[in-house]
Structure 1
Amino acid sequence: MKPLTNINTPNMLTLFRLFLIPIFILVFFSSVPDSLFISICIFLLAGFTDILDGYIARRFNLVTKWGMVLDPLADKLMLLTVLTCLSIKGYVPFFISIIVILKELFMIISGMFLYKKDTVIPSNIFGKLSTVIFYLSIFCIYFYRDLGEILLGVAVISAFIALINYLVIYNRGKA
């Protein structure tokens, strides 16, 4: 039996981020006092592990193809989970969640398609910036709701810019 050679520290952090998704849901919908605040802290912890795993992977040359696929997938799943939960409780309009879900599903499906063709399009500045704006907007929704809603709109626009950039990179690779 071949050992898993892709399980390094950055990939373990990514797996931890995936593990945080059901924890977020359980806390968010619990009757625990300050469950929204605790949930947002879990979300921010996930964001911190995303930054940390990327730094470690690049700094110590631990980038793997598996990590290049799983890391953005973990980010997308966490973001979709948080937006859906916030929509269910009325903090975020459903149409925002639906727009982001459709965009991210397209990204996930196309990423799996490319992975099967042995192609991975790594994350870039547009996707990272979009993720940062989403994290800021969700943080602000708790503390400064109006600012959070404005930032959420900016995040959706930046997500579509990242999608367009992704499509441009993909089409260049096909030519």
Structure 2
Amino acid sequence: MNIANALTLMRFILIPIFIYVLYSERQGSIMAATFIFILAGMTDVLDGYLARKYHMVTKWGQAMDPLADKLMQLTVLFCFTDKGFIPLWVVIVIGIKELLMILGALILYYNKDKVVIPANHYGKVATVMMYAAILAVVFHLPFRTYLMGIAVFFTLLAFHNYVIGFRRVHSRRL
């Protein structure tokens, strides 16, 4: 396992830690959980940089990196919805989109060629926008609602591009 993949694995480990910290009764638990979320985002950027710069790109990393991101984002969204910070419709829209993408990724990965559709530009923008929107919600910034709407828009745009890529790859396999 290379360092980029270890950072991806670390993001999976941060998910239950985020939940534990957020729901603890300690003062400052929301800020501490937010710090864990930011740390996860930093490991995402770092593992992508290292994988590309030092030629550590692997099929496992291409499949697990976006899965770690999706699970972290969904966890944060579900927990913050439960806490009343984020409206339920955001979790429903993004949750359905992420589940469909995970199913598509599994279909393509668990065939004889282990095909992975790498993240596209829209997906990366959507991830950055979602992180920004969640931070805006936590810090009660006045434009948080607009930022969340923009994040959802880019998330749906990324999904649209993923569907196009999925159809292209899947139709070649038939």
- Give the alignment's TM-score, normalised by structure 1: 0.93
2:61 is aligned to 67
Q: Which moved more, 1:73-82 or 1:90-99?
A: 90-99
Q: 1:54 Cα deviation (Å)?
A: 0.2
Residue 128 (str. 1) matches residue 124 (str. 2): yes
Cα-to-partner distance string for 1:142-168 (whole Å, 9 max, x where unaligned): 223432222111111110100011111
Q: Please, which moves more after superposition, 67-76 or 160-169?
A: 160-169
Q: Could you list the per-position Cα deviations for residues 65-110 of structure 1 after superposition, in whole angstroms to 9, with x for gaps in the alignment?
A: 0000000000000000000000001000111111111110000111
Distance between the aligned counterparts of 1:86 and 1:15, measured in 2?
Answer: 23
Deviation at 1:31, TM superposition (A): 0.9
Q: Which residue of 2 aligns with 1:102?
A: 96
Q: Mind listing any 5+ residue stretches in structure 1 that lack a counterpart?
A: 1-6
* Alignment: residue pair count: 169
Q: How does 1:9-48 map to 2 (within 5 A)?
A: 9-48=3-42
Structure 2 runs not aligned, ≥5 long: none
Shift of 1:113: 0.5
Query: What secondary structure, in the 3-state scheme, does the structure 2 residue paired with 1:146 have?
Result: coil
Q: Once the two structures are superposed, what CA deviation does each residue of 1:6-38 show, in whole Å capped at 9, x if it has no partner? A: x11000000001100000000111111111111
| Identity over aligned pairs, percent | 45
Superposed CA RMSD: 1.0
- Counterparts of 1:35 and 1:63, CA distance in 2: 35
User: Which residue pairs with 1:172 in the alignment?
Assistant: 168
- Structure 2 residue identity aligned to 1:65: K
State the AA in 2 paired with 1:143: F
